[in-house]
Amino acid sequence: MLPAQPVFESRVDQLLLTSSNSPTAQSIQPPEPATTLQALRSLSYPLKRFPIESLRKLVVCGSKNFRRGPHVSAFLDVLFQLFSKQKINFRSHEEQTEIVGQCVAYLLSIVSCGSSAKPLATDEQRLDAMRALGTVLYENGGASVKFHTQLLAALAPTPVVGIAEAKQAEARRMSLTCLGNMCVKTGAKGAALQKEVLDILMQSLTGDLNDEGTSKIVSSALRGIQLLINENKAVVQDVVSDLLPVLQRFGLFTPSVAQNAPVLKPAARRPMTIPSDSELSEGETGLPRNKQRDNRLQLNALLCLQALAKAQAKLVFPYWFRFLPDPVAGPAHPSLISVMRDSDSPKVRHGACAALMAFLDGAKQYLSVAEDSATRHTTSFTSLSAKLAEQLREIHDGVLNAVKEETWPLLLVQELKCLTVLVKNCTYDRLHPPYRQQAFDAAASRMSSDDFAITSAAFECIAAVLDSGLAIPPPYHEEQSLLAPVLDALFKSLDKAEHISVRVAALEVLCALARNQVELFRPVWLRLVPLLSETITDAKEVVRAASFKLVEQYAHSCSTTLTDAQAQPIEWWCDLVDNYVHRGIGDEFFAVRSLAVDCLGHIPATVFGQMPAKRQYACLALELGMVQDEDPSVRAAACRTLGVYVGFPAVTEDVLFLSDVATTIPRLMSDANVGVRIRASWALGNLSDALAHVSKNVQTEGQTITDAGINATIIVQIINAAILAAKDNDKCRSNGTRALGNIVRVCPPALLAREADRLMKYIVTVVLKNIESGTVKTRWNACHALQNILATPAFPLSASGPARVFGALTRSLLTCKNFKVRISAAAALTGPTHKASFGNLATVKDAMAACVAAAEGVEDLGGAEFGEFRYREQLTSQLRTTFFHLYRIIGGVVPPLPAPAPVAGNDASPADATTRPPERPVALSTSDAITTAAGSRAPTPRLSAKDAAARKLCAEQSSADARDSEIQAMLERLLQVS
């Protein structure tokens, strides 16, 4: 027996038969179209089974048979219900374009037909077509690209062509809805369309809001703008200053007041007797129609404000005092807080809370300026920091009161989330009131066993408060702790019968406690161990991941924050490996495996060194095995742990350990995942540090690195991997250059000579490229790497061109805006210990001239950030050290530094000495620096007879190269700066 045909398909087939004129259709005698259409309208959407082919048939049928006549509105209602309630899963973009295109073409034919001399559709039918068109276009804008021009032509005109005056407002509202929905899912390619639609919507934000039609038009325009912002946040950049006052007028005031804003809304406490329920819409029932309309307008304004605050946070910052409590205007000033407090609509209060969260989220840097002033109210001037502190006080009071008094569960969840965002984005160190304790108490008071959503939100808020630095004094007795009731609720929530979100949130609170109050967490851990044995084997992946995150966090805190006296014994770490790590790395969920690997990386070096050799090998073998995991996050965690282990004495002192790691890490630099390569590059840098340390130790015993078990093949592998890292992502390049500098130091002389014209030359090329480009960290590491290369006596620098190498350093010394990079570049010039390394005297003179020019211009930031000024003394000292090093290389004898000159002499008044800026030339190139050094002389400081005699004697004892007139002139200028 054949299975029964689904109801929707059978109804569509009946409609096709009804509309057909074939003999077969006439013999079957199908029901009337009205009956079939009514059956389709009465189906309970969404349907469990919805075949796309039936939709295709339905659209084709409507296009052929329902363009005119009494059944058009019924068919349009079927389309409206399908596209508004049914989840339609198109199998391909082509199929979506075809079916949506047929729908749009059909609906446009009805919407546009009213402009003809003899309209084929009534006004009601055209309005029904607009309503259906809005639902069809929503999230199908990319599939209706070829109709965008026609849609704009049909929907943009005001008034709508062919519609009676009495129905113009409704037609205009629907047109704006269609325009907004048309832009959804158009992406970056639809920027031109989005801009055109935005202009139309912005022009619709005017009129008499007491008129119902106008109010609906403005509400639809605001909804459309919100959709546009969500689709392309850049589209509103040019209209933010025009849009925000509109949103203030419609979002913070009732429409009757908004007409004459800024008239203040009288404060009226919302009723708190509404029974608890999960549906906000129930709070709107029973309200007058005009009140529901006003609430809808205000809600759309708030949702639009939320979207704008998320998309253009920096542009919204100057308007904060329009929407948030203004301490100057006083508590009666309308704000999002007052809407949350006073609105009689739960939806509006929910929207205001969401908008407030959008303002606060990501504003940590801006809010960090806030500081309670000790001179508050004593002066007429109020600083921004004091204003923000007052504003935060009002926001905290408003949100805390809302959390304490709210009776609607969904609203309470939103307000708890808002409090969480507020806590995460505030810097409380400079604020006097105990906001953190108040937030902790408010969240703890709303923990409920009756509603899992409220409990989860309360736990998340408590975790945020703990992360914000709430100081919890250690109790004399555990039951006296402020945490006691919270801990009881947490342990109760870890029961398997609780909702999954509650269990995860409870584990997050414990994780925050372990992260911030590790001493208080010690007794909690002992109580937690039995429960963890169950949660780490839970059937839910997210619960297992949260459990291992807690274990990993506690291990990290134990390894980094506890003193030697408080440190966990070796038995605790062995138990961690046996009971948690081994179980975690075998888990099928990648996040659990990654966290288990991270636990191994938190074992302190002292503990690892005390472990038996067998257990050390086991830990290392686990890591070496996990670098081959199928998931990149696990491989990245294994790379990080190996990078930690190579710095352990127990590893560097064991040739087998070090050799295994040295052959594993380089292979990981070829991983396809950039996250793995970043961690591998860090491990590679640490490996090169460890090898340099080993090489230094074996050299004291008259041996080389190859005698320690690291042969030339492994070294070449490390070099090739470091080169890959130095040419990779910016986060890899700094570690790659660091590794190159260190590995060159350990290369055997025979390898350096053999690879002089190939590998070593390429190393220099890669390092020089990173000196001249990249991030500050990369350039600093590249300069440091070059210092190591230049300090290697056997390095074949002549093959790379000394002038090229030292030219890059002097350019960085003179032009880099970061002083730390300049310091590193100056230090790199001290690498060579013989003049021959520079190739000729001219290269040495260029470097010396660059040092003098940089020393004279150290007070001039030259476009650098002001924060660099704090490094000027360190830079001056390094430049002096570098110059004297170069001077000694060419045979010079460094004279004693002159005594400090008086502030004002006979030729200058004290005022001149303190106000006249120093006229010091800043060289932009090495040749300019040499010209300046030879052609201009600064005033010579006054020398004592003893200092003058000592300087003359040093000059006489110096070599002929050092007595060169240009070099002596540079020396005089540097001594003056010193």
DSSP string, 780-807: HHHHHHHHHHHT-TT--GGGT-HHHHHH
Q: Is 51 left (phi over 0), alpha (psi -120 to 50) or beta?
A: beta
| Backbone φ and ψ of 321, nearest 5° | -75, -5
Tokens representing 614 are 């067998």
Residue 943 vs residue 592, higher pLDDT: 592
Residue 194 vs residue 163, higher pLDDT: 194
Long-range contacts of 474-482 (CB under 8 A, 24+ apart): 474/519, 474/520, 478/523, 481/520, 482/440
d(CA 398, CA 333): 13
Mean pLDDT is lowest, of 169-173, 367-371, 388-392, 909-913, for: 909-913
Mean pLDDT is lowest, of 124-138, 417-431, 482-496, 675-689, for: 482-496
Q: What pLDDT is stored for residue 891 in this prediction?
A: 86
Average confidence (pLDDT) over 281-286: 56
Tokens representing 538 are 């839970």
Mean pLDDT is lowest, of 262-271, 359-368, 622-631, for: 262-271
Q: Which residues contact 580 (CB under 8 A, 6 or more apart)?
A: 536, 548, 551, 596, 599
Q: Is the pLDDT of residue 763 over 70?
A: yes
Cis peptide before 941 (omega within 30 of 0): no
Q: What pLDDT is stored for residue 274 in this prediction?
A: 36
d(CA 341, CA 744): 68
Q: Is the pLDDT of residue 927 over 60?
A: no
Q: Which residue carries 């975690």 as its tokens?
A: 584
As a whole-number percent, the residues of the chain with pLDDT over 90 amount to 56
Total-model pTM = 0.83
d(CA 942, CA 976): 10
How far from chain centre, in Å, is Cα 813? 33
Average confidence (pLDDT) over 650-678: 90
Residue 264 vs residue 830, higher pLDDT: 830
Q: Is the pLDDT of residue 919 over 50?
A: no
Q: Is the pLDDT of residue 278 over 50?
A: no
Average confidence (pLDDT) over 128-136: 94
Q: What pLDDT is stored for residue 799 in this prediction?
A: 82
Residue 690 vs residue 944, higher pLDDT: 690
pLDDT band at 566 (very low <50, low <70, confident <90, very high): confident
Going through 751-890 in order, the beta strands assigned E by DSSP cover: none
Of 519, 520, 458, the residue nearest 489 (C-alpha): 458
Alpha helices in 627-673 (DSSP H): 632-645, 649-652, 655-668
Rounded to the nearest 5 percent, the helix, strand and coil shares of the chain are 70, 0, 30
Average confidence (pLDDT) over 412-430: 95
Sign of the Cα torsion 358, 364, 365, 366 reads: positive
Contact 925/849 with Cβ under 8 angstroms? no
Q: What pLDDT is stored for residue 510 in this prediction?
A: 96
Q: What pLDDT is stored for residue 119 in this prediction?
A: 56
Contact 658/646 with Cβ under 8 angstroms? yes
Contact 821/865 with Cβ under 8 angstroms? no
Q: Is the pLDDT of residue 396 over 60?
A: yes
Q: Is the pLDDT of residue 472 over 60?
A: yes
Q: Is the pLDDT of residue 194 over 60?
A: yes
Mean pLDDT is lowest, of 119-123, 229-233, 789-793, for: 119-123
pLDDT band at 3 (very low <50, low <70, confident <90, very high): very low
How many residues does the structure list for the chain? Answer: 978
Q: What pLDDT is stored for residue 222 in this prediction?
A: 96
Q: What pLDDT is stored for residue 570 in this prediction?
A: 93
Specify the amino acid at residue 766: V
Specify the amino acid at residue 948: A
Q: What angle, rounded to 10 degrees, do the helices at 712-726 and 674-699 form?
A: 140
Average confidence (pLDDT) over 218-227: 95
Tokens representing 954 are 């040093």
d(CA 927, CA 938): 19
Q: What pLDDT is stored for residue 960 in this prediction?
A: 81
Other Cβ atoms within 10 Å of 546 Cβ, number: 25
Contact 370/394 with Cβ under 8 angstroms? no
d(CA 325, CA 397): 11
pLDDT band at 929 (very low <50, low <70, confident <90, very high): very low
Give me the half-sphere count of Cα atoms (radius 13 Å) on the Cβ side of residue 299: 17
d(CA 508, CA 512): 6
Tokens representing 807 are 């030219």
Chain segment 299-336, per-residue pLDDT in tens: 999 999 999 999 999 999 999 989 998 877 776 789 99
d(CA 65, CA 9): 18
Q: What angle, rounded to 10 degrees, do the helices at 346-360 and 384-405 form?
A: 140
Of 397, 360, 367, the residue nearest 384 (C-alpha): 367
Chain segment 34-60, per-residue pLDDT in tens: 888 898 888 888 888 888 898 999 999
Q: Is the pLDDT of residue 781 over 90?
A: yes
Other Cβ atoms within 10 Å of 529 Cβ, number: 10
Residue 561 vs residue 83, higher pLDDT: 83
Contact 600/620 with Cβ under 8 angstroms? no
Q: What pLDDT is stored for residue 180 in this prediction?
A: 95
Chain segment 61-79, per-residue pLDDT in tens: 988 888 888 889 999 999 9
